[in-house]
Amino acid sequence: MLHFDTGSSSTWVVDQNCAVSCDNGSGYDRKGYNVSASSTGKVLGSYGKIDYFGGVTGGPGVADTSSLPVGYKSNAPLTWNQTFLAANESSWRFISADGFLGLAFSTIAVANTTTVVETLLQQGHLDETRFGIYYGKEFQNTRANPEGVLTIGASREEQYAEGDLTYVPLRPEIEYQVWRATLSSVTGTSNAGEKQATSKLGDSGRVVFDTGAGSLQVPSNLIGDIYASIGMNWTAIIDAGYVPMCSEFNSSWSVTFNFGESEHDPKLTLTGDQLARPGFADNKDACFPPFDDSGSEDFGLFGTPLLHQFYTVWDFGAADVANYQPRIGFGKLKANM
């Protein structure tokens, strides 16, 4: 079982030694990969190390035959050769998985590996140049019945989303690395729409959409103004110990992220009740502050507090790297989702 992550590229699986010796406080019994025990496994002669915000992982690059029970184009099993890291070191103590499935771009993959999606895409195994993510309704402990669905080579917005998707194009780059877009401004609305304030970044603003991030981080130079626009005080929270109560998180206020300067450019809006996350300060009636400081000016990192609220489609726009026009589609979840 792998933890999917749009904020990184390299797919890795703990090896047979790390499965036993690497710190594991997750309660999940990890299954280690042994390249020597595989008749199709091959060591690439490379070594890579990945620094995450929450840990470090390293190991040799390997290649092996991978398969899915049912190929999307037919009922025949889909089999292909995939490169990945056989991790012999990992500080991901609390991850309930055998490794990571990197869903960013192969340009930043380590140890001469390529991402699973781009490997399948460029070998012609996928019907569409996209993957879709539905998180489900349980985010803490899915037990034996996870509801989340990762669809590779297609998307299921008709099943999960209501109405049309809002597509946010990625910021143009010579080589795409992560799912990074232009964040032009943030508009906060309070008092049931009576008050509104916009904090602008212009062309310098950027944001990375990262399924592996558990917070909604906004640019350091905007965070105070964003809190003020929704009737909260960021300084009081971080310096004076103010604890936001969940009763303050309601639909009377909202925040809109604008990905362009004009009225026709894409935007995403979240209401206060959507941003409520109980349990702050070990109090079930207190909610975590809705936004964190990214630690950088003009930069945001949008993780699961935002992504949980949408059905998302991550579209490369083409199978050929030279023709990529990547974008992310956001669909409002249907009421029963």
CA 133 – CA 211 distance, rounded (Å) = 10
pLDDT in tens, 9-21: 999 999 999 999 9
Query: Where does a domain end: 108, 125, 142?
Result: 125
Q: Which two tokens stand for residue 206?
A: 């950027």
Query: Where does a domain end: 103, 125, 147?
Result: 125
Instruction: Provide the pLDDT confidence category of residue 47 given band limits of 50, 70 and 90.
Output: very high
> Do residue 197 and residue 301 come from a single domain?
yes
Pairing label, strands 310-315, 130-134: antiparallel
Q: Specify the pLDDT at position 143.
A: 56
Instruction: Give kind and range of the element (H or E) at residue 235.
Output: helix 234-239
Question: Residue 106 above 70 pLDDT?
Answer: yes
Question: Residue 300 above 60 pLDDT?
Answer: yes
Question: Residue 224 above 80 pLDDT?
Answer: yes
Question: Residue 303 above 60 pLDDT?
Answer: yes
| Across 48-62, average pLDDT | 91
Q: Which of 318, 337, 333 is nearest to 165 (CA)?
A: 333
Asked if the structure places residue 141 within a domain, the reply is no
> Do residue 26 and residue 105 come from a single domain?
yes
Whether 267 and 259 have beta carbons less than 8 Å apart is answered as yes
pLDDT in tens, 155-195: 999 999 999 999 999 999 999 999 999 999 999 999 877 78
pTM of the predicted model as reported, rounded to 2 decimal places: 0.94
Question: Residue 287 above 80 pLDDT?
Answer: yes
Query: 265: domain range?
Result: 157-332
Whether 302 and 208 have beta carbons less than 8 Å apart is answered as yes
| Across 209-238, average pLDDT | 97
Asked if the structure places residue 117 within a domain, the reply is yes
Supply the mean pLDDT for the chain. Answer: 93
Q: Could you tell me which residue, 252 or 71, shows the higher pLDDT? A: 252
Asked if the structure places residue 182 within a domain, the reply is yes
**CATH, residue 289:** 2.40.70.10
> Do residue 262 and residue 310 come from a single domain?
yes
Asked if the structure places residue 42 within a domain, the reply is yes
**Residue 108 backbone phi and psi in degrees, to 5:** -110, 10
> Do residue 161 and residue 223 come from a single domain?
yes
Q: Specify the pLDDT at position 228.
A: 96
Q: Is 223 exposed, middle or buried (0-12, 13-18, 19+ CB in 10 A)?
A: buried
> Do residue 120 and residue 161 come from a single domain?
no
Q: Specify the pLDDT at position 142.
A: 55
Q: Specify the pLDDT at position 33.
A: 96
Q: Could you tell me which residue, 321 or 264, shows the higher pLDDT? A: 321
Instruction: Give kind and range of the element (H or E) at residue 237.
Output: helix 234-239
**Residue 109 corresponds to which amino acid?**
A
Beta-carbon contacts of 22 under 8 Å, excluding residues fewer than 6 positions away, are: 14, 87, 89, 90, 91
Domain count along the chain: 2
Question: Residue 126 above 80 pLDDT?
Answer: yes
Q: Could you tell me which residue, 336 or 247, shows the higher pLDDT? A: 247
Query: Where does a domain end: 72, 101, 125?
Result: 125
Q: Specify the pLDDT at position 69.
A: 65
Asked if the structure places residue 281 within a domain, the reply is yes
Asked if the structure places residue 200 within a domain, the reply is yes
Question: Residue 87 above 80 pLDDT?
Answer: yes
Q: Could you tell me which residue, 195 or 199, shows the higher pLDDT? A: 199
CA 168 – CA 245 distance, rounded (Å) = 32
**Residue 308 backbone phi and psi in degrees, to 5:** -60, -25
> Do residue 192 and residue 271 come from a single domain?
yes
> Do residue 217 and residue 309 come from a single domain?
yes
Q: Specify the pLDDT at position 145.
A: 65
> Do residue 293 and residue 166 come from a single domain?
yes
CA 232 – CA 180 distance, rounded (Å) = 28
| Across 253-273, average pLDDT | 95
| Across 303-326, average pLDDT | 98
> Do residue 296 and residue 244 come from a single domain?
yes
Q: Specify the pLDDT at position 140.
A: 64
CA 337 – CA 333 distance, rounded (Å) = 6
| Across 62-91, average pLDDT | 85
> Do residue 162 and residue 120 come from a single domain?
no
Asked if the structure places residue 235 within a domain, the reply is yes
Question: Residue 301 above 60 pLDDT?
Answer: yes
Q: Specify the pLDDT at position 337.
A: 84
Instruction: Compute the Cα dihedral for 170, 173, 178, 184 and give only its sign.
Output: negative
Q: Specify the pLDDT at position 195.
A: 85
> Do residue 294 and residue 190 come from a single domain?
yes
Distance of CA 301 to the CA centre of its chain: 9
Q: Specify the pLDDT at position 141.
A: 62
Asked if the structure places residue 319 within a domain, the reply is yes
Question: Residue 144 above 70 pLDDT?
Answer: no
Q: Which two tokens stand for residue 41?
A: 């496994």
> Do residue 321 and residue 194 come from a single domain?
yes
Q: Specify the pLDDT at position 86.
A: 98
Q: Specify the pLDDT at position 105.
A: 99
| Across 192-216, average pLDDT | 92
Pairing label, strands 206-209, 299-302: parallel
